[in-house]
Amino acid sequence: MDLEHGGRTGRPGVPPAPFGIRIGGGATLVVAATCLAAALFPVSAPLARLLVIVLAVVGFALVVSDLRASLVVGLLGFLCFSGFLLDRYGELHWHGARSAGYLLLLVVAVLLGTALGWVRRSRPGSVAGTGRFHTRSAG
């Protein structure tokens, strides 16, 4: 991991986006996922709603591969889930072990996405994390 910039970049010689920009992008993704989960699943299906948030957080962590930014976005995901999908009108409540389980699931999603991003970028032959591979020309 490029510690000077806080993460990896998808293109050689181009530094990654600043930390705040990554957080802003992740926050936008989480809000969009929250709206999608609210539209797709009823209030009586909190785990299905949480799954949408978890997938968004994993995807963000996979693309960004910055643990710090991904943890912040995971926390934002928990706050949006708790305030808008589990409870109503943005009111945050702690529901004991159930809330701790939801938060733990989002932390695991962050770790999984970040680890997969690091593995994807460190594969031999990958073009700086773009997921594309160099091919040998027949000749």
Q: Quick check: is 39 in a domain? A: yes
Q: Quick check: is 51 in a domain? A: yes
**Confidence at residue 121, expressed as pLDDT on a 0 to 100 scale:** 85
CA distance 16 to 114: 15
CA distance 73 to 23: 6
Long-range Cβ pairs for the range 13-16 (8 Å, 24+): 16/64, 16/66
**Confidence at residue 78, expressed as pLDDT on a 0 to 100 scale:** 97
Q: Quick check: is 130 in a domain? A: no
**Confidence at residue 125, expressed as pLDDT on a 0 to 100 scale:** 65
CA distance 30 to 33: 5
Q: Quick check: is 49 in a domain? A: yes
CA distance 32 to 56: 9
CB atoms within 10 A of CB 1: 15
Report the domain count for the chain. Answer: 1
Q: What is the pLDDT along the chain (139 residues), one digit of tens a residue?
A: 444 444 555 555 667 789 999 999 999 999 999 999 999 999 999 999 999 999 999 999 999 989 999 999 999 999 999 999 998 888 899 999 999 999 999 999 999 999 999 998 887 766 554 544 444 555 4
Domain that holds residue 79: 19-122
Q: Quick check: is 13 in a domain? A: no
